[in-house]
A and B are shown apart, each in its own frame.
Chain A
């Protein structure tokens, strides 16, 4: 461990950073309160207060990453990776997908991804990957600096794309790449599939221990698994509160506040954060406040958000009294909570990490959408046909048709991209959304 690096880490991450970020949060909270009292007749109820705390946590997380090299071991991990083992070994975890989404929300993707495109990475590959590789090449990032990984953990339970992408990272950083290979579930999970994932998790432990320079404590692993489960349960409860009419939240609130359930699961602070978010959502319900002031229609969002258009889309829809109340994307981080068994963390991980919606069949995804339509009393569905995310998008044409035919709701296939604004036409999207709203009546 390097002494200067350690000193910098403590000064910035333990002392200065938290103080500055606490002050920023206090300012953000004041702004949110002021906006809420001023905009009594706005279309949207406004930002949830807890969002300021969420921002503080995420900023602190990136701040820790910024000073982590030579002080702590760093792992870059995919969003659906079984991180509990690494967390228990005290790795600092960096999620390139979340970082890419942040670049998207801050509208920096074109500039950053261009560096990857100039190096030969096609515009047809996932725009998260292009953003991440572009950031690697150019050093550009909205978070100051991303630490270099000592280990890469790739779980292909969301797509095979992450494996192609992490192979590039492994070649670039020349660090071990651990793959947790999760067979795609065309039907129910079978014993040999679960056994395979469990074996890989067990095989990963000595590799991670070697890189971490310490042994895994099973007591600590159980603790981390408990926090993961509690956070996922709370997240699910928060999202399910949208079943209330009018819904106290929109799917956009979910997109904005999902950072910690992805990046900081397994931590006590995340559990506390979501407990207070749930309390705030309940306050809204008690006060009869709807997230969209004049909620007329309730809609499902399928697939990733369009990160660079969150504000614009949410306002456009709210102007028609439409609330996107639920999204199967944010739901994915909560719906597996009941499956989690903290007494058997490895077996639990093998089962749970096989089951994200993206690792299940197109028919299963349709069934899940139909259930959301029923549970949340939805009037329509928007299926974001995401140009550079094939695993989420392939199958949508049939899913849309079945929602229309079997469930009898209007369903719109909206062409866009989760991170690349060059694959999005404002005019066309607005026209299509307005036509869709008209169809709902």
Chain B
């Protein structure tokens, strides 16, 4: 199964006359960007970038997603982007958005989007207003004015994309490919047009995943980098059967009732993610969600795979660990630096963790 590269997608999209939006983590309104004529390509770091420029703007205690992104966004490779969108995910991304606008000033316009942290009617109303503000900013950045018909159509496309993603992420056992290939494909939704992603998903061979009687693990965290982590897990006899990753399952939004107007539908979608820390979900709700996913996927333990210095993740961890422990699930917490190969010490800890589950 051949997944097109980011570069190929950029060329393809540009040849259709569409514009590219470089989008930072985590939640953003994909249908709105598309309706305004922008194809979103997500920037999770990226891992293999020289972080020198980022390090010149951000202290070493800022997470690598931010430092790498700052380096990448001023690099030659980022010139294909027509705009940069920085959602307000955490204090560090808030800082990145602000430093980009006020000091670094890349050649593209930098737009921001604030996420409401509550789930009240005022949060829905605010989100609608914030999305409309973003829509105007997209026009100023060279995009098209968003009409309700186009937005409705893009919401339908998004619904199909989410359904496909749900079919994959929630049913790992049905696909006969190894973890690395499986999650590489899933992560291609970060840059593929929805229809391309759905078509690729169709091609995944059905059947039992390779590996005999593996230890079944769920993975949580922001982004699984480097992807070799999946190989290492497989090497020691473990398999990832479910995820709670910011780049994947935390974005399995609920789609809202089609009777609502498209702006409200979009706002409800943006507020309808599974419980997760950056959007302020109560911790007990998050724990319930994790337990449910662990049960459904018949996982034996949870691997929390965090980017170093990620505060939203770190605050929830002790209570999550305690609650899961009380239900008999072991939790292994690993913190990693983007762009570095998996350290021996990390491998030893993974191995020891998997052994305890055998």
Which residues in A have some Cβ–Cβ distance to B below 8 Å? Answer: 119-122, 124-126, 129, 156, 159-161, 163-165, 167-168, 170-171, 177, 179, 181, 183-184, 186, 190, 192-193, 195-196, 199-200, 203, 361-363, 366, 385, 387-388, 390-391, 393-398, 402
Contacts and interface: CB of A to CB of B under 8 A. Distances in A.
Contacts of A195: 126, 129
Contacts of A171: 282-284, 319
B88 to A, nearest CB: 6
B347 interface: no
Nearest to B120: A203
Interface stretch (B51-59, B215-223, B247-255): B51-59
B98 A167 contact: no
B315 A164 contact: yes
Contacts of A168: 283, 315-316, 319
Contact of B317 (A120, A362, A390): A120
A363 B97 CA distance: 11
A164 B116 contact: no
Contacts of A184: 88, 94, 98, 112, 114
Given A164-B277, A167-B283, A393-B59, A186 B315 contact: no
Contacts of B116: 181, 196
18 contacts: A120-B317, A125-B314, A160-B311, A163-B280, A167-B316, A171-B282, A181-B116, A184-B88, A196-B129, A200-B120, A361-B98, A362-B98, A362-B99, A366-B102, A393-B59, A395-B102, A395-B103, A397-B59
B37 to A, nearest CB: 23
Contacts of A177: 282
B311 A179 contact: no
B144 interface: no
B94 A119 contact: no
B99 to A, nearest CB: 5
B351 interface: no
Contacts of A181: 116-118, 123
A159 B62 CA distance: 15
Interface residues of B, number: 52
Contact of B91 (A161, A179, A199, A361): A161
6 A-B pairs with least C-beta separation: A394-B95, A363-B102, A120-B318, A192-B129, A164-B315, A199-B122
A160 B312 contact: yes
A398 B280 contact: no
Contact of A398 (B57, B97, B277): B57
B59 A396 contact: yes
A361 B311 contact: no
Interface in B35-77: 56-59, 61-62, 66
A126 B315 CA distance: 10
Contacts of A396: 59
Nearest to A172: B319
A125 B114 contact: no
A200 B59 contact: no
Nearest to B62: A394
Interface in B150-194: none
Contacts of B314: 121-122, 124-125
Given A170-B282, A184-B88, 13 more contacts: A121-B315, A124-B311, A125-B314, A160-B117, A164-B316, A195-B129, A361-B101, A362-B98, A363-B103, A366-B102, A393-B61, A394-B98, A397-B56
Contacts of B278: 160
Contacts of B94: 160, 184, 391, 394
Contacts of B321: 120
A397 B58 contact: yes
Contacts of A165: 315
Contacts of B317: 120, 122
B125 A199 contact: yes
Contacts of B88: 183-184
B102 A361 contact: yes
A156 B311 CA distance: 15
